[in-house]
Amino acid sequence: MLPSLRTNDTGCANVPEIPTRETTDLHQACSSARSLDDIRAALRENPTATTVQDENGKLPLHHLAENEALYLEEALQNAGDKLDIIGVGGINNAETALEKIKAGAKVLQLVTAIRGEGTAVAGKINRGIAAYLDRQGVSSIQEIVGIDSRK
């Protein structure tokens, strides 16, 4: 339920103030190279932090998406061959696709990229990946799946 707006003595509505932006422990856990345990602990400590914007207007999950490769690597290390990882979010070029593949993704989801650039983006990404594999002398993409998590 929305709060009712009252008018002040000039007849203008008194609009509730927008909360001050702050960086929470959850922002810090999602933006740094910390483990998933740190994120879980920050969520337990302050479950409402998911809705707080930092000084740059970012929610904690924006930071988490920026560091997704770290969490993919951790998931792959913990699960080994028992888990097939799907890389999602922010994939609109070969570099981002390769980052997720090297972190352990076997499949990529391109929904937003296709909406923004059309279906041709998939071909652009495939050509970029193929060029990378050629430059590196890699014969199969399977050779690089999860390579960063094995370091």
State pTM to two decimals: 0.56
Confidence of residue 3 (pLDDT cuts 50, 70, 90): very low
Of residues 48 and 120, the one with the higher pLDDT is 120
Mean predicted confidence (pLDDT) in 74-90 = 75
Do residues 106 and 140 make contact, with C-beta atoms less than 8 angstroms apart?
A: no
pLDDT digits (tens, 9 = 90+) for 4-47: 444 445 554 444 444 557 777 777 777 775 567 777 788 888 88
Write down the mean pLDDT value for the chain: 77
Residue 50 confidence (pLDDT) above 60: yes
Cα–Cα distances (Å) from 117 to 18, 67, 107, 112, 139, in that order, read 35, 24, 20, 8, 29
Predicted local distance difference test score (pLDDT) of residue 67: 66
